[in-house]
Chains A and B, each alone.
Chain A
């Protein structure tokens, strides 16, 4: 059987969890690209290429960084803002970079406003509405990130990147692990470095 690859969707209504298909998490200093374990710098390069070639590269910051609840969270927020500024400066003039918060995990009834937020229970609404073709999750708790990443893979063609502070996400198309403010800044550095080459 051909090995499973965590490719951008739309895969199917209920895509399998990547872990159940044999995708494993990277070790420290590694990442994965579509399920293939690679050195972290290779993942950085690929993620930068994805963002630079996207029409709507988008950062989705979650509650762990939206709220200034400790010093580390505050530093990450500053790094994410820097990354967003670098993306805006580096993408082509046709691209429309966005930063949309995942302020809450609870399902919102009767509806969310997809222009101002993303919700892990129906993240596809925000992706569809804003025509987002590449996104990065950062500061989202693991379970909610997994849920959202699977739904996005199931129903959209958006390329997903996880900047995870823990062990990474199998369900993302590309994942980093052990995210720190420095690692986010390093990613911004890769985008600067590859500016104009994609």
Chain B
């Protein structure tokens, strides 16, 4: 899609809500090197959201949206959960699927886009919670990986069903007591990153969203690898501060505490040999682009 088509009719510019004017004037679409540093200056990265105050998911959303390599050519597929409250505020094409069938929707969508726009790299990114990804939608999730569908699956792992009051999910840690799981979880947390690797994902990361530059790196890698090679999977800890009894300001610390070495969200990355090669090529190109931009800046200031 060309940004040229996203123009407000001049007659209506003054009556359009300000966020749409800002979107057209200041969006980072088409900007090379866009990233999490654009958060705060670009309205398409959600100026407002409808999540709870201090919710780490809102941070995660912003970092992910700012890190998409081609937002104007990306369609996100959401599912039921807290994420579905945010998508109405997001200026990236998105589809709300039924609870759990997000990877099936994304499969059809990716294939349709590839058929309709064979010369353009259209990206599809699934963004769903752990209930949709691992419990209700596990079948769709796995089958899309088995079929080597070329899109990225991102799971916001808050380790329970937060939106409905705190029921046990497959990604809940063993022994955790939630409001609606009073005896504590009896089983181990499902090891989906390992299952993803064994199911054919080319790039798999397990992390928190405490470090924006890290999130930017893994999202870009995941989308670009999925575009070229096949399925990729990111599992990101976005704790529900309400359901684990934390205050609004404590989300970041909770993530930092959970990513220490040996803990369940310690950074883990897997890349297939082909993905490693591709990521190395991408890194070289990025380095060259930054060097060229730096040189151009130096030249212009002379």
User: Contact residues of A with B, CB < 8 Å?
Assistant: 61, 65-69, 73-74, 77-78, 80-81, 99-101, 103-104, 106-110, 113, 116-117
Q: Is the CB of B88 within 8 A of A106?
A: yes
Decide yes or no whether B9 CB sits under 8 A from chain A. Answer: yes
In chain B between 4 and 31, which residues have their CB closer than 8 angstroms to a CB of chain A? 5-12, 15-17, 20
Given A101-B12, A101-B15, A106-B87: A68 and B7 interface contact (C-beta under 8 Å): yes
Q: Is the CB of B8 within 8 A of A68?
A: yes
Given A100-B15, A103-B20, A117-B17: A110 and B50 interface contact (C-beta under 8 Å): yes
User: Contact residues of B with A, CB < 8 Å?
Assistant: 5-12, 15-17, 20, 50, 85, 87-89
Q: Is the CB of B17 within 8 A of A81?
A: no
Q: Is the CB of A99 within 8 A of B15?
A: yes
Q: Is the CB of B11 within 8 A of A116?
A: no
Please report the C-alpha to C-alpha distance between residue A150 and residue B85 in the assembled complex, in whole angstroms: 24
Among candidates B5, B11, B85, residue contacting A77 with C-beta atoms closer than 8 Å: B11
Residues of chain A lying within 8 A (CB to CB) of residue B5: 67, 69
Given A81-B11, A106-B88: A67 and B17 interface contact (C-beta under 8 Å): no
Q: Which residue of A lies closest to B20 (CB)?
A: A103
Q: Is the CB of A101 within 8 A of B11?
A: no
Question: Knowing that A61-B12, A116-B15, A116-B17 are A-B contacts, what are 13 other residue pairs whose CB atoms are under 8 Å apart, sorted by A's residue number?
Answer: A66-B12, A67-B6, A67-B7, A67-B9, A78-B11, A80-B11, A81-B11, A99-B12, A100-B15, A101-B12, A104-B20, A107-B88, A108-B89
Please report the C-alpha to C-alpha distance between residue A68 and residue B15 in the assembled complex, in whole angstroms: 14
Please report the C-alpha to C-alpha distance between residue A26 and residue B44 in the assembled complex, in whole angstroms: 41
Q: Which residue of A lies closest to B48 (CB)?
A: A110
Q: Is the CB of A108 within 8 A of B88?
A: yes
Q: Which residue of B lies closest to A70 (CB)?
A: B5
Q: How many A-B residue pairs have CB under 8 A?
A: 53
Residues of chain B lying within 8 A (CB to CB) of residue A107: 88
| B75 CB to nearest A CB, Å | 14
Most buried by A among B6, B10, B16, B17: B17
Please report the C-alpha to C-alpha distance between residue A77 and residue B8 in the assembled complex, in whole angstroms: 10
Q: Which residue of B lies closest to A66 (CB)?
A: B12
Residues of chain A lying within 8 A (CB to CB) of residue B15: 99-101, 116
23 A-B residue contacts at CB 8 Å? A66-B8, A66-B9, A66-B12, A66-B16, A67-B5, A67-B6, A67-B9, A68-B7, A68-B10, A69-B7, A77-B11, A77-B12, A81-B11, A101-B15, A101-B16, A103-B20, A104-B20, A104-B88, A107-B88, A109-B50, A109-B88, A113-B17, A116-B15
Q: Is the CB of B87 within 8 A of A73?
A: no
Please report the C-alpha to C-alpha distance between residue A117 and residue B215 in the assembled complex, in whole angstroms: 35
Residues of chain A lying within 8 A (CB to CB) of residue B20: 103-104
Please report the C-alpha to C-alpha distance between residue A31 and residue B17 in the assembled complex, in whole angstroms: 32
Residues of chain B lying within 8 A (CB to CB) of residue A109: 50, 85, 88
| B2 CB to nearest A CB, Å | 10
Residues of chain A lying within 8 A (CB to CB) of residue B10: 68, 77
Please report the C-alpha to C-alpha distance between residue A131 and residue B106 in the assembled complex, in whole angstroms: 43
Q: Is the CB of B17 within 8 A of A101?
A: yes
Residues of chain B lying within 8 A (CB to CB) of residue A113: 17
Please report the C-alpha to C-alpha distance between residue A81 and residue B10 in the assembled complex, in whole angstroms: 10
Q: Is the CB of A103 within 8 A of B50?
A: no
Please report the C-alpha to C-alpha distance between residue A150 and residue B20 in the assembled complex, in whole angstroms: 27
Q: Which residue of A lies closest to B91 (CB)?
A: A104
Q: Is the CB of B8 within 8 A of A67?
A: yes
Residues of chain A lying within 8 A (CB to CB) of residue B6: 67
Q: Which residue of B lies closest to A117 (CB)?
A: B17
Please report the C-alpha to C-alpha distance between residue A190 and residue B140 in the assembled complex, in whole angstroms: 57
Please report the C-alpha to C-alpha distance between residue A100 and residue B7 in the assembled complex, in whole angstroms: 18
Please report the C-alpha to C-alpha distance between residue A100 and residue B12 in the assembled complex, in whole angstroms: 9
Residues of chain A lying within 8 A (CB to CB) of residue B16: 66, 101, 103
Q: Which residue of A lies closest to B94 (CB)?
A: A106
| Top 4 closest pairs, chain A to chain B, by CB | A77-B9, A106-B88, A81-B11, A109-B50
Residues of chain B lying within 8 A (CB to CB) of residue A65: 9, 12
Q: Which residue of B lies closest to A81 (CB)?
A: B11
Most buried by A among B9, B12, B15: B9
| B35 CB to nearest A CB, Å | 26
Please report the C-alpha to C-alpha distance between residue A67 and residue B7 in the assembled complex, in whole angstroms: 6
Q: Which residue of B lies closest to A78 (CB)?
A: B11
Q: Is the CB of B9 within 8 A of A73?
A: yes
Please report the C-alpha to C-alpha distance between residue A169 and residue B5 in the assembled complex, in whole angstroms: 28
